[in-house]
Structure formats: C-alpha cells, structure tokens
Structure 1
C-alpha cells in the first residue's frame, strides 16, 4: 500500500521548482532527506555565530528587486545588490535602479547582474527591442562586477561601531576587503532571453574565484543552501565546490526568492555528510531503503554533535562562510516583502 501511494504521488502534476514543496509532498517524495535537512540545520542553528573582526564592516545585502525599491535600506559600510535589478532588462529599467542605488548613503555600492538583466549580457541583448536597447548605462559611483575582482580599503570610524573595543581605539581604522562578483546561473529559461545562463550540470565555476576573496557575490545560490533544497535544490553544485575551496568570509546571492535568509556554513565533517546525503539519488522509496542516505543522516548527527561540543565547551569555531540569500521579492508574488539582510564581518 505504501509503495502504491508513493507511485501515485509521483504521477501527480510536477512541482514548480521555484515554489516550496508542501510538507506532505516532501514526506512522500523525500522523507529521509527531509530528516537529514532538519538534523543538519538544527545543529547549525545551535552553534555560536562567527565573531566579526574588530572594528567590523557592516554589509547590507539586497537582490531581486525587479524594478521595485525597498522602502527601507539599513545603513552600512557596503551595499551589495546580487542581481535581477529589473524584469525586462532594458537600459531604462536598469538605469532607474542604478539611479536609486547611487542615491543611497552607503560608502561603497556593488552590483552584479541577474538573469533578468538582459541588456548586460551581449548574448541576450538582441532579444530586446530597439527602444529597450536605446541609450547607455551610467553606473555613476557604483562598482559593477561581471567576472571581475575589486579591492576596497574602507575607513571604519570606531565612534560609530557597536564594538566597545573599537570605540576605545584612537582614530579611524582601515580595513582592506577583496570582492569578486560573477552573474552566471544554471539555465532556468530560454537561453536567448535570460542572461548569463549555462546548461544545468555544467561546471562554469571551478578555479574562477580568486583564492583571497573575502566577499563573493553571485546570482545563483550554491546547491542545497538557501535554494529550496528539498526535494532537489535549485542552486549549483559546482559553485558550492568553489565556495568550499575559497572559503570567503561572506557569500551573497539571490535568484531563488523563497530561499531568502542567511546561515553559516562550517566547513567540517557535518557539512560534508549533509551535502553527500542531499546529493544521493533514490528512486521509488524516497530513500527509505537506501543505506547510504541513512548513513549520512547518522554522520550528520554524530559530526554535528562533535562540532557543537567543540564550539560550546572548547570555544572552537574553525573555517566558515556566512551565506546570504538577499532576495527582496516575496516568492513569485511580484511584490517585495523579504527582509533586507545585514551582516557584520
């Protein structure tokens, strides 16, 4: 009876991958991965947050504004927009977003493209009408990164810091931050219209991000992280490998609107087991009879408990990256509604 129910469920209308799957669907489709996902995120939640440098740099993160303007953008040292400024990708629409961004008070403003910013990709630009292509983009004081690296030296005023130690320091302090931005995403629409796409499964990332990168900005999420991870994940597995190799302090992205939020990835055995389990393929039984998948659930629990003891008892933290899905659009509603993400590094 159970197997008949599972088979019947699989024959129902396919789930839109950019919409969250319902809990009953996940219970039938991927019950073991549902357990794995929640065990991993429970241990991740219980760990202490990483300690920022002193004085810290305050990074404000937004993405996927799609022609709209958030009502309130918190103050900060750096403002990052991780793509999809517009809906139609025309010059005039992009310029409106740039004009708004440039008017904000942040010391440095950094922007990358998204798949809806059609004009910015020479391959998709011909899909726009002549009127949509008319004019030139004036980036003003904004740093636009398209497979490009940027090094900034920021002056941090201790008087404006929440850090007690920073307020006691004499005079402003300078911090150098290295940033890399790249817009490419796994294909999610017509190649001639959606910008910077590559075929899903293709490796468009390995050895592309400089090793000394402090902040990485992409449009796509890394797979299984703030990307509607269940049942399949909409991010890129090759980007995940690249983020693990480089281990930036901060990785900002968007694209998957329902994945908005932030989390810390600790590059340890618990995370390795989580990724291995989530990438394990099971047919018909949703993983219930897959010993490899169950073994990774056990590994996540064991490694997660060890990491928690290392953190809470010994005060150890280890290599980590703060991941931020900064999408402002509330799902596919066409309206902004997600919180602007703020991180201190």
Structure 2
C-alpha cells in the first residue's frame, strides 16, 4: 500500500505541467521535436541582437513575486511587473506590493494582474473571505493595466563609463524623449479552479485575436505565448492564440511570467524559420514518438535551411527583419516558493 501511494505520488509529480520534463523522458518520447527545438534556438541565438531605437529606453522586467520582495531591482527607466503580485489575492497582500513598487526610483511603474491576484477579478473576488476583501486599493503612482493601453513619454537616463560593459554604448546626446505605447492584459489559459484563479479562460479558447492595438510597443501579459519560454514540452503551457496576436502586432517587447521555470529572454524573428518551428512544434504524432513522421522531419529540415538563410542575410548582408524580444520575468524559482530568478533588463 505504501509502495502504491509513493508510486502514485511520483506519477502525479511527473505529470505536473508546471515542472520541466526530464531530458531522458524527452529523448524517449519526443526526440524529433527536441531536435527541432534546439536547432531553432541555436540558429536564433547566432543572430545579431535587434538594434534599439535612439535614444534607447531601459525596461526592467519582473513578475511572479508572490508577496515577496527581491533583494535588488536594478535601475532603469520603466519597471514592469507582469502579474502574480500576491498568493492569496487579498487586498492587503496586493497593496503591500503596490506600496513597494511605488517606492522604487524608476520613472514609471506598470503592473498587470496574475491568476493569483484574486481580488482584481470581479468573478473570483467572492472566493475571498470578508477579511481578505476588506479595504480599497491605492495604486499611488503605479499604472495598473487591465485590458488597457497606456502612452508614456520617457526621457531616458544617460549612462556612461561607470555602467556595466553591456550598457557602456548606451549614451544620450542631450535630453531626448521617447513615446512608448504599452498594452496590458491578464487573461491566461485555465490552470486551476475558475472560481479561485483570476482571469482564466478555457485552454484552447481564443481570448486574444484583434485585442491588442496595432501600434503597441510593449505588450504585457501574464501568460506566455505558445512554445516560447513556457516549458514547450510536452505541449507548451502558453497560448497559441496569444502567439498569433503577438505575431500580428509585432511589438518591440513582450513581457510575461506565470511559468516560473521558463524565466529568461529570447528574440523571436518573425520569419519563415519561425513559421516552420511553430508548425513543427504543433504537429501531433503517435508514430513511434515522431521518429517516422515525415512532416515532423520536414519541419526540422525547413528550420535548418530557412534559419541558415536568415543567418547569412543577417551576418553577411546586415539585414534584420521584424522581431520581438520576449521576456519571461518570473522571479520565483520554479515551484520552490522562493525568489531566485534574475531580474530581466531590456533596452528598446
């Protein structure tokens, strides 16, 4: 009986979609998709980075703090928090995070909700106790976006020789300003009880098409897009409809969180290599885990061929097509309940 219980626990843990799938399991169950994934990301990594506009604006990105406060938040022009400020979603917990964010020295602070910020969704608010609902939120100088756009005029800070090596080239000639257009939306594919987790919609439902303004420079969501910084195996925790909407709008920056193990950043080039990658990752195959699926292998060939062509065009001819810097800004390290992931910084 004890053995059966332990075995059941192991199975439940292995099936947890918010835990990474072990490499050996991937090699056995999805070897071709694993090859496809790494080929695409290697070719993308070899690209030249996108060139920031002038003057560049420094965006500091965090998410999923879950009532905790990071020890060090680097300086920057705009601070973005992509949701899950709290755990229980009470007014007091959210307000404590807002008070901390408002005290930071960044010129502008922008926040959206996450599925744990229960009070902020009128549909899930009744699940809180009277004590948890007591009080009102004071957002102070923090911009809260809930299916809302925001236009900011930013005069970036100049940084000189005392800046880190990767930012020494970020110099300003005089006091120039930039106009940035942001849009924030909190909805996520369902991952828990609808009455408790905020802003959920049934997985597979299209909650995104034609919702993001076309002139958006920075998109802030809580969920990742499908197959990007979302634990893409076995099937990806992000939303395919959000990915299509990001591709339609092509913002310079897309900030999100939710999937703690996906923390980091990558550049997505909206080219035919990405098209082949997306099609291959969405291919379903039961033929010996894809080993005998010609369409899946053809996706690998197309990613390599198209990716090499784009790489030559970039590195030899200096050509760069449209791209989006995607940032999973989750601060909580995995499912440990402790902060540990690096704060993400992007110059756009």
Partner of 1:8: none
Unaligned runs of 5+ in 2: 1-10
- Do the aligned residues in 2 keep the contact of 1:54 with 1:166 (CA within 8 Å)? no
Partner of 1:239: 242
Once the two structures are TM-superposed, the CA of residue 231 in structure 1 deviates from its matched residue by: 1.5
Paired residue for 1:174, among 171, 174, 177?
177
Partner of 2:260: 257
Distance 1:306 1:229 in 2: 25
- Do the aligned residues in 1 keep the contact of 2:261 with 2:333 (CA within 8 Å)? yes
| SS across alignment from 2:345 | strand
Partner of 2:108: 108
Aligned residues: 333
- C-alpha RMSD of the superposition: 1.5
**Normalising by structure 1, what TM-score?**
0.94
Distance 1:288 1:44 in 2: 24
- Do the aligned residues in 1 keep the contact of 2:222 with 2:256 (CA within 8 Å)? yes
Unaligned runs of 5+ in 1: 1-11
- Do the aligned residues in 1 keep the contact of 2:226 with 2:232 (CA within 8 Å)? yes
Paired residue for 1:310, among 313, 327, 342?
313
Paired residue for 2:275, among 272, 282, 287?
272
Closer, same or farther: CA 98–301 of 1 in aligned 2, 3 Å: same
Partner of 1:134: 134
Closer, same or farther: CA 249–278 of 1 in aligned 2, 3 Å: same
Once the two structures are TM-superposed, the CA of residue 294 in structure 1 deviates from its matched residue by: 0.5
Once the two structures are TM-superposed, the CA of residue 215 in structure 1 deviates from its matched residue by: 0.1
Paired residue for 2:221, among 204, 218, 225?
218
Runs of 4+ in 1 over 6 A off after TM superposition: none
The answer as to 2:207 corresponding to 1:207 is no
Partner of 1:30: 30
| SS across alignment from 1:131 | helix
Distance 2:69 2:170 in 1: 36
| SS across alignment from 2:155 | strand
Partner of 2:288: 285
Distance 1:157 1:193 in 2: 42
Distance 1:156 1:311 in 2: 29
Closer, same or farther: CA 280–138 of 1 in aligned 2, 3 Å: same
- Do the aligned residues in 2 keep the contact of 1:54 with 1:165 (CA within 8 Å)? no
Distance 1:155 1:42 in 2: 36
Closer, same or farther: CA 173–25 of 1 in aligned 2, 3 Å: same
Distance 1:84 1:338 in 2: 15
- Do the aligned residues in 2 keep the contact of 1:86 with 1:93 (CA within 8 Å)? yes
Once the two structures are TM-superposed, the CA of residue 155 in structure 1 deviates from its matched residue by: 1.4
- Do the aligned residues in 1 keep the contact of 2:58 with 2:156 (CA within 8 Å)? no
**Normalising by structure 2, what TM-score?**
0.93
Distance 1:121 1:237 in 2: 23
Alignment of structure 1 residues 36-55 onto 2, 5 Å: 36-55=36-55
Distance 2:83 2:317 in 1: 40
Give a deviation string over 1:220-240, Cα, whole Å, max 9, x none.
000000000112100000000
Partner of 2:7: none
- Do the aligned residues in 2 keep the contact of 1:55 with 1:158 (CA within 8 Å)? no
Distance 2:264 2:282 in 1: 22
Once the two structures are TM-superposed, the CA of residue 156 in structure 1 deviates from its matched residue by: 2.4
The answer as to 2:146 corresponding to 1:146 is yes
